[in-house]
Chains A and B, each alone.
Chain A
Amino acid sequence: MAEELTNLLISEHHPMDSLLRQDRLPHIWCSGCGLGTVLTCFVSALQKLELDLNKVVIVSGIGCTGRAAGYLNLDGFHTTHGRAIPFATGLKLGNPELKVVVISGDGDLMAIGGNHFIHAARRNMDLTVLCVNNFNYGMTSGQVGPTTPTDARTSTSPYGNAEHPFNVPYLAAATGATYVARWTALHVRRLERSLIEAMNKRGFSLVEVISPCPTYYGRWNKMGDALEQMKQYHDHSIIRHRTDPAEADISLGGEIIVGRFVDEDKPTFCDLQREAVQ
């Protein structure tokens, strides 16, 4: 069959394979899910950063996004639900030389791990948090989550969601994060650059990625297939750097303000503690 594809070279290995656990591929994410694209951007950012990969640790929580740590050929841990940030905090305090990256979803970081998130931001722990927001709990069949927009339909809000959603960049900025950015899964080059900046930043940095969930959220809200949903998020996004994150609310079908919202320098928890001890 392979011979019948025109002008295409069939290969066995990908240039990013050294950073991936090939025995786990292909991954379980649905066709067209934004998570794969986000992971590609992350791997590409890592390749460009040229860090010592023995000192990079990936921590993830539970959910579709939580599987990212299992697909990366780096030290990593798949924690219990919501506890990715406390585990990462422990790693960072135990060995401050490590570059600790938390990759998790909106349900894991904002709902059950919400308190851990705001307190890590308040302490300014030197972590990089990649929050992939698909507006629902995708792995457990699309229930309403903390970031589901008002009036959006999900399997547990069939008449429309009556709750107000979290505005993730606003929450992070208000609790003291030093780097806050938001992109959609289609802004691949900008997301890659943002991840490089976030990983180079000393302090709590958050990158939120708006990603489609074609199987549940998109289907309940009649957004079409994965491609249409991704295109819709991209078309509705407006790049506005340094805007006040309070204005970056997301409504159902409304515009999505993306960009780098916060980029400031502040002493981290480790710095202050070292000063206090000396």
Chain B
Amino acid sequence: MKLWRKPLDQDRVVVPHGEIHLILERCKGCQLCVTYCPRSVLEMSNLFNAKGYHPPQVGFPGRCVACGLCAMLCPEFAIYVVEV
């Protein structure tokens, strides 16, 4: 991130990082998590699950800040984030 001045609390603030977990067979490929991830971490994969839907995959793992919006938006209880 580019900063125009150094924030006073920069050394105290730790940006959280998340690890994304997927329950593959629940996903119905609706793309809500991919579309609305504020950090554009996810992307659609070309693979199929058993029901024939394309699950998402992580394109940019370093960007995730564990906000949990994908878990809140997922209609299938198929994705969640664990803060690491």
Q: List residues of A whose CB falls within 8 A of some B CB.
A: 1-2, 4-17, 20, 25-27, 29-37, 39-41, 44, 186, 188-189, 192, 226-227, 230-231
Taking a contact as CB atoms under 8 Å apart, the answer to whether A25 and B21 are in contact is: no
Is there contact, CB below 8 Å, between A6 and B77? no
Question: In the complex, what's the smallest C-beta–C-beta distance from A142 to chain B, in angstroms?
Answer: 19
Residues of B in contact, count (CB < 8 Å): 37
Contact A40 B30 (CB under 8 A): no
CA separation between A231 and B73, bound complex, in Å?
13
CA distance A35 to B32 in the complex (A): 13
Q: Check A11/B30 contact, CB under 8 A, given A27-B76, A35-B75.
A: no
Find the residue from B19, B47, B74, B80 having the highest chain A CB count within 10 A: B80
Which residue of chain B has its CB nearest to the CB of A2?
Answer: B24
Nearest chain B residue, comparing its CB with the CB of A226:
B30
- Contact between A40 and B75 (Cβ–Cβ < 8 Å)? yes
Q: How far is it, in angstroms, between the C-alpha of A79 and the C-alpha of B30 when the chains are bound?
A: 30
Q: Would you call A11 and B76 a contact (CB within 8 A)?
A: no
CB distance from B33 to the nearest CB of A (A): 11
Provide the residues of chain B in CB contact with A4, threshold 8 Å.
45, 47
| A-B contacts, 30 listed (Cβ < 8 Å) | A1-B24, A2-B24, A5-B24, A5-B45, A5-B47, A5-B55, A6-B58, A7-B57, A7-B61, A8-B20, A8-B58, A9-B22, A10-B21, A11-B21, A14-B77, A14-B80, A15-B71, A17-B77, A20-B77, A29-B75, A33-B75, A37-B74, A40-B71, A40-B72, A40-B74, A40-B77, A44-B72, A186-B36, A186-B73, A227-B30
CB <8 Å contact, B26 and A26: yes
Task: Produce 1/0 per residue, B49-68, CB < 8 A to A.
Answer: 10101011111010000000
| Pairwise interchain contact B58-A7, C-beta atoms closer than 8 A | yes
Given contacts A14-B78, A32-B32, contact A8 B57 (CB under 8 A): yes
Q: Is the CB of A192 within 8 A of B35?
A: no
Q: Please name the residue on chain B nearest to A41 by beta carbon.
A: B72
Docked pose: A8 CA to B34 CA in angstroms: 13
Q: Decide if B69 is an interface residue (CB 8 Å cutoff).
A: yes
Rounded to whole Å, the gap between the CB of A158 and the closest CB of chain B is 28
A152 to chain B, nearest CB (A): 23
Q: A20 vs B58: C-alpha distance in the bound complex, in angstroms?
A: 26
Bound together, the chains give a CA A186 to CA B78 distance in angstroms of: 17
Specify the chain A residue showing the minimal Cβ separation from B64.
A7
Q: Is B40 an interface residue (CB 8 A)?
A: no
Given contacts A25-B77, A230-B32, could you give 13 more A-B pairs where the C-beta distance is less than 8 Å? A5-B24, A7-B58, A10-B21, A10-B22, A16-B77, A17-B77, A26-B51, A26-B78, A31-B53, A36-B74, A36-B76, A40-B75, A227-B35
Report the nearest B residue to A40, measured CB to CB. B72
Residue B28 CB within 8 A of the other chain: yes
Using CB atoms, name the residue of chain B closest to A1. B47
Q: Would you call B69 and A26 a contact (CB within 8 A)?
A: no
The distance from the CB of A48 to the nearest CB of chain B, in whole angstroms, is: 12
